[in-house]
Amino acid sequence: MNVKIAKPLVLFLLILGSTTMPLLAHEDEKLQDSTKQETSKTINVDEVLPEGSGIPGTASSIFAPYSEFPNLHPMVVHFPIVLLLLALLAQFIGLFGFRPQLSWFTLLLLLGGFVGALLASQVFHPHTTGLPEKIKEILETHEYYANLTTWLAGTAFVFKAISHFTKRKTWAEVIIFLLITGSAVSVSLAAHLGSQMVYIEEVGPGGNYIEQHDE
């Protein structure tokens, strides 16, 4: 280190130490006094700790078994929404600064988004019954955007896999970005209509309009 720089630095540290040491000593004295006062008091553990377990939701009775849910669609559908939106962000960043790790990340996000959309729209799709005509129209539109999301996400994954494992082309990455954008928009529209059916039309809560599991 340069001597001209070292001397002022040492002087600054000495001044800083001389000013902070008394403050630290004073705080230490206050801490010792407060510790003595606290230890002199009798602490009732029952008054401090909450009743039962200290971790919320640890009781097994809190969680309903899966058999009591009319359908598991609400649990599965969040995954493609989050994963496809993250894939869109990752692909957008990759257009301006390509990194192999980021490409892998985008590819895996697309795979998860596609599989999640496939499961949500096909495997865990709720079967409705007794829907009024207005809600039927909403449901059909919701299913259209859900299926569109699946196809766009799957196509984007295939294109991304080809681009990732072969020589990368900028124009191909732009097409992939557009495909992911389409899937992100369609999954957002599907989510909007799904929320509309649940919170406005009350399809689902309490099993309304949903076929129940066989006993």
DSSP string, 94-131: HHHS--HHHHHHHHHHHHHHHHHHHIIIIISPPPB-S-
Is the domain of 160 the same as that of 123?
A: yes
Structural domain including 20 reads 3-42
How many CA atoms does the CB half-sphere of 36 hold within 13 Å?
A: 6
- Over the stretch 51-67, which tens digit does the pLDDT of each residue have? 545 566 566 677 888 87
Condensed to tens digits (0 to 9), the pLDDT of residues 166-184 reads 988 999 999 999 999 999 9
Are 78 and 11 in a shared domain? no
**Per-residue pLDDT, 165:** 94
Residues in the chain: 215
Cα–Cα distance measured from residue 151 to residue 145, given in angstroms and rounded to the nearest whole number: 10
Number of domains in the chain: 2
Structure tokens at 196: 């509309």
* CB contact at 8 A, 70 and 212: yes
